[in-house]
Structure 1
Amino acid sequence: MPKTASLQPSNIGAGQRLASLGELLRDWLPHQRWFAGKHRPVTDLRLLSMTELYPGCLHLLVHTGHTGTHADPTGVLSGHPGGPTAPAGGVPAPGGTPATGDCYQLLIGIQAHLSPRLGRALIGRADVGPLAGMAVYDAFQDPRSAHLLLERLRHPGTLGPLRFEADPDQPVPAGLAPRLLDAEQSNSSLVYGDAYILKVFRRIQPGVNPDLEVPVALAAQGCDRVPAPVAWFRTTQPQEATLGVLQPFLPDASDGWTLALHALATGDDFTAQAHELGRATADVHLALAAAFPDGGRGETARMAAGMAERLDAAARSVPQLRPYVPGLRGAFNALTACDPGPPAQRIHGDLHLGQVLRAGRDWFVIDFEGEPSRPLAERRSAHSPVRDIAGMLRSFDYAARQRRPWRPEWARRCREAYCAGYAARAGWDPRAKHGLLRAYETDRAVYEVLYEARHRPDWLPVPMAAIERLAVRGD
């Protein structure tokens, strides 16, 4: 058996342990794909919560402060929005602003001798404090820790500030082998026996995460387009917050982005799939409206002003955008005179081809967390369902422009089929809400331009093609 550090509270206090771990974590965190403060050194590390899962394994909630910012002096979970990460099928939703500090969930293993199979998980060796000389590693990559998390979820209960809960009508079998998925960007996910997937939220904000709240509510509505949670865990300190959700895993499913690119590569028609995807989106929107009935009408004047502000800010940063500003601003100004569209309601919030799965002949919608760079309260608020639709339409455009020659006609057919499928199920046609749809697409495309200019300049022509189209009056 490998020797582990003695971590009982009676002999090593939380402050002493953090002193041993602090420098390692400061250097390691900015290099993680789920860390919102990329390229900004961590200048302050504040311990919010420390719980020993088993000897040699610590569950941590830490608050980070970055260069040029001030750490949260209250030591509570941070709710500031952070920097974006690009999902498959598009770029992050508009509206995020740089973070001043964030709370992160960590699972830290500590051993004297680290097994070679955990070499990739190594963070480093502590060189100060009571843990000096010990190997420190990311325990989410340790099968032992993954197994223990599942057992905690299978047998609900309390461990310090952690609360493990489960749906008693959906028991989870024992002995499922875990594996860590490598494709996650803002979270970490563990798959158990190709039967369940545990999404562990890395960046934590106070309150119920929509990726738990929404699927639970949709399951109560009988909506089978969204895998229903079977177990979850949360913390009660320093504030109530969701930490992870266990849901059924669809092992034979493919995401919409992969399927769309395959269709483009092989020349296969994708309009039938797009039509069915539109129907699936409408199913989810109808179930959301029933599950969260306190929507109402959006304030178009305030929405238009916010879109115009984002346009002006983007144009100051991206010169290529400036010639199109008058036409784009016209799309936003027209909002006050156009049909307000359907009532505001809970929506997905970050819908694109990478957020949908096709298993057999059915489409499933996943990842209701919303855009992680937005505050949790905003992600849980009501918006027009047209915003989701615009996100998916932009995703079709991105797929059609992955390779030269671009395939705008392919995107047009998919967009038409998607809207037709949505109309067949929802009872109203997104294409009939032309002014609203144009405004939301424009807002999305403006942010895409800003994102690509900053992070992937070679991709800038993709959203600029949409900008040219959307800037034309009456498009």
Structure 2
Amino acid sequence: MSALTDLLAEWMPHQRWFGGKGREWASVAEDGFFLDEASPVLSVHRVRIGYADGAEETYLVPLSWRSEADEEVAHAYVGSVGDNHAYDAMRDRDATVPWLTHLVAASTVGPMHFHPAGVAYIPEGLPGDVISGEQSNTSLIYGETAILKLFRRLEPGLNPDVEVHEALRGTDNPHIAPLLGHVEIDGDPGTEPATVAFLQSFVPNASDGWRLATSSVRDLYAEADLHADEVGGDFAGEAERLGEATAAVHRDLAAVLPTAEVGADWYAELATQLTARLDAAVGIVPELAEHADGLRALYADVAGLTEPTTAQRVHGDLHLGQVLRTTTGWIVLDFEGEPARSLAARRELDTPLRDVAGMLRSFDYAARHLLVEQPGETQLAYRAQEWAERNRAAFCEGYAGASGTDPATSPLLQALEADKAVYECVYEARNRPHWLMIPLTSLARLAAS
């Protein structure tokens, strides 16, 4: 391996966006090119990792280079190759300008192609500020105008985030931030280009849905004698409006992207998938075993459904952290789906109830996350359940009012919510064991139903 390959192999496992933590590597290779040769020099690298189990992944790593170490970007230091010092270019403000410069020019640089959407102003010449806290991707905010999302893990094909925003562009849906452009990179011969990044309008002065919801929960906990509908920070009105926004997005997705009528065979296959995921999860999280029979019965009910329904493109990973509240309403973000799933799986047609279930799970998390450090507080647990039920119901009422269909009446919704909670159990067991109580509590309710 080259010195740079060795350096990246040492550095990457410590980055939040790297998805192969804990896996044994069998091989690693790197290829790169210069995106900008000003100061600092900006290069882009594809790092191909082969794992011991035979799986492979490719990650995108932009680097900035300086001939002398720079203390101002010491926080982004990657390492040195000879006399040159490498930095994480997404955290080096001076190296973030060329991305938008090339988008405005619709450039092709080496294997990389820049595609402006041609519908709005792109703030050329501004540096970008990295958003902290992201996991699977890296995003830069340019002033108060645009946000660039870099997809760290590369797969051939158009990323759903770009595909969905392009399709919705003609609908003038008020719950979507407009697409400004995207970037692709050529892959191996015979494969589609992979989406590298996409740029959309930034929504300034907006509030994150998770923060708003959890602030409401804190207000409730602080009021010993008031119910959820009596607290000044009651969130139910916002939950209802969020349900309306979700239904509006689903309506427009069905209008501009493919749909399909599905029936008994689809339900049977879905039930098989749900059961298989449960069986695998029980092997990882033993605490799931006591709920397994009830969940299998829930899934068996899905297998018996025959009423035709429409499958369509959906968000795929909808939760309170994926929505913003502006002065005029809710904005839905991040249509890429669950990054851990393959690109093909994320582009499959599904039921809109998948997104409804994801948001219902998010309300449960918002209600109960403060109980993690206070597991014995039965009074707070009661209040958390009251808040969750109130806001879950409000969201479904808003969705029903806007769509004409009440999701709460579907037997499929409970099964999809259970499937999401099973996934959460595996995640929490591996990453935050002390949070495992949140999905387990929900599964006890769902299994008993």
TM-score normalised by L of structure 2: 0.90
Alignment of 1:269-308 (within 5 A): 269-297=234-262, 299-308=266-275
Q: Is the 8 A contact 1:292 1:346 kept in 2?
A: yes
Separation (CA, whole Å) in 1 of partners of 2:165 and 2:119 = 16
Q: Show the counterpart of 2:140.
A: 190
Q: Is the 8 A contact 2:312 2:350 kept in 1?
A: yes
Alignment of 1:422-441 (within 5 A): 422-433=399-410, 435-441=411-417
Identify the structure with bigger relative contact order (alpha carbons < 8 Å, sequence gap 6+). Answer: 1
Alignment of 1:95-174 (within 5 A): 100-126=55-81, 132-174=82-124
**Closer, same or farther: CA 43–109 of 1 in aligned 2, 3 Å:** farther
Separation (CA, whole Å) in 1 of partners of 2:432 and 2:308 = 34
Over aligned residue pairs, what C-alpha RMSD do you find? 1.6
Q: Show the counterpart of 1:353.
A: 320
Deviation of the 1:265 alpha carbon: 1.1
Separation (CA, whole Å) in 1 of partners of 2:239 and 2:251 = 18
Separation (CA, whole Å) in 2 of partners of 1:317 and 1:366 = 31
Deviation of the 1:42 alpha carbon: 4.2
Q: Show the counterpart of 1:39.
A: 22
The unaligned stretches of length 5 or more in structure 2 are 221-232, 372-379
Deviation of the 1:235 alpha carbon: 1.0
Q: Is the 8 A contact 2:311 2:351 kept in 1?
A: yes
Deviation of the 1:101 alpha carbon: 2.1
Question: 1:265 aligned to 2:218?
Answer: yes
Q: Is the 8 A contact 1:154 1:171 kept in 2?
A: no
**Closer, same or farther: CA 135–48 of 1 in aligned 2, 3 Å:** closer
Question: 1:322 aligned to 2:289?
Answer: yes
Partner secondary structure for residue 232 of structure 1: strand
Q: Show the counterpart of 1:75.
A: none
Partner secondary structure for residue 237 of structure 1: coil
Partner secondary structure for residue 262 of structure 2: coil
Partner secondary structure for residue 259 of structure 2: coil
Question: 1:457 aligned to 2:427?
Answer: no
**Closer, same or farther: CA 360–303 of 1 in aligned 2, 3 Å:** same
Q: Show the counterpart of 1:220.
A: 170
Deviation of the 1:61 alpha carbon: 1.5
- Cα deviation, 1:302-333, whole Å, max 9, x if unaligned, reads 11011111111212222221122111100000
Q: Show the counterpart of 1:6.
A: none
Aligned length: 420
Q: Show the counterpart of 1:95.
A: none
Give 1:256's aligned amino acid.
G
Deviation of the 1:114 alpha carbon: 2.2
Give 2:300's aligned amino acid.
N
Partner secondary structure for residue 141 of structure 2: strand
Deviation of the 1:465 alpha carbon: 0.8
Question: 1:58 aligned to 2:43?
Answer: yes
Question: 1:69 aligned to 2:53?
Answer: yes
Q: Is the 8 A contact 1:431 1:437 kept in 2?
A: yes
After superposing the two structures, state which structure 1 stretch, 345-354 or 222-231, moved more: 222-231
Question: 1:203 aligned to 2:153?
Answer: yes
Deviation of the 1:110 alpha carbon: 2.4
Partner secondary structure for residue 63 of structure 1: strand
Q: Is the 8 A contact 1:341 1:436 kept in 2?
A: no
Deviation of the 1:47 alpha carbon: 2.7
Separation (CA, whole Å) in 1 of partners of 2:359 and 2:83 = 51
Q: Is the 8 A contact 1:30 1:40 kept in 2?
A: no
Q: Show the counterpart of 1:13.
A: none
Separation (CA, whole Å) in 2 of partners of 1:107 and 1:263 = 40
**Closer, same or farther: CA 315–173 of 1 in aligned 2, 3 Å:** closer
Give 1:46's aligned amino acid.
A
By percentage of residues, which structure has more helix? 2
Q: Is the 8 A contact 1:453 1:460 kept in 2?
A: yes
- Cα deviation, 1:179-216, whole Å, max 9, x if unaligned, reads 11112111111111121101111111110001111011
Separation (CA, whole Å) in 2 of partners of 1:29 and 1:269 = 43
Question: 1:414 aligned to 2:391?
Answer: yes
Out of 237, 243, 250, which is 2:196 matched to?
Answer: 243
Deviation of the 1:52 alpha carbon: 4.1
- Cα deviation, 1:13-56, whole Å, max 9, x if unaligned, reads xxxxx713011100001011000101335442223553443253
Partner secondary structure for residue 244 of structure 2: helix
Q: Show the counterpart of 1:93.
A: none
Partner secondary structure for residue 360 of structure 2: helix
Q: Is the 8 A contact 1:344 1:384 kept in 2?
A: yes
Give 1:192's aligned amino acid.
Y
Q: Is the 8 A contact 2:261 2:308 kept in 1?
A: no
Deviation of the 1:139 alpha carbon: 1.5
Q: Show the counterpart of 2:229.
A: none
Q: Is the 8 A contact 1:340 1:436 kept in 2?
A: no
Q: Percent identity?
A: 41
Give 1:355's aligned amino acid.
Q
**Closer, same or farther: CA 361–224 of 1 in aligned 2, 3 Å:** closer
**Closer, same or farther: CA 373–45 of 1 in aligned 2, 3 Å:** same
Deviation of the 1:219 alpha carbon: 1.4
Q: Is the 8 A contact 2:302 2:415 kept in 1?
A: yes
Separation (CA, whole Å) in 1 of partners of 2:118 and 2:285 = 53
Give 1:225's aligned amino acid.
H
Separation (CA, whole Å) in 2 of partners of 1:42 and 1:316 = 24
- Cα deviation, 1:198-252, whole Å, max 9, x if unaligned, reads 1111111110001111011111222121111112111123341111111111121
Q: Show the counterpart of 1:78.
A: none
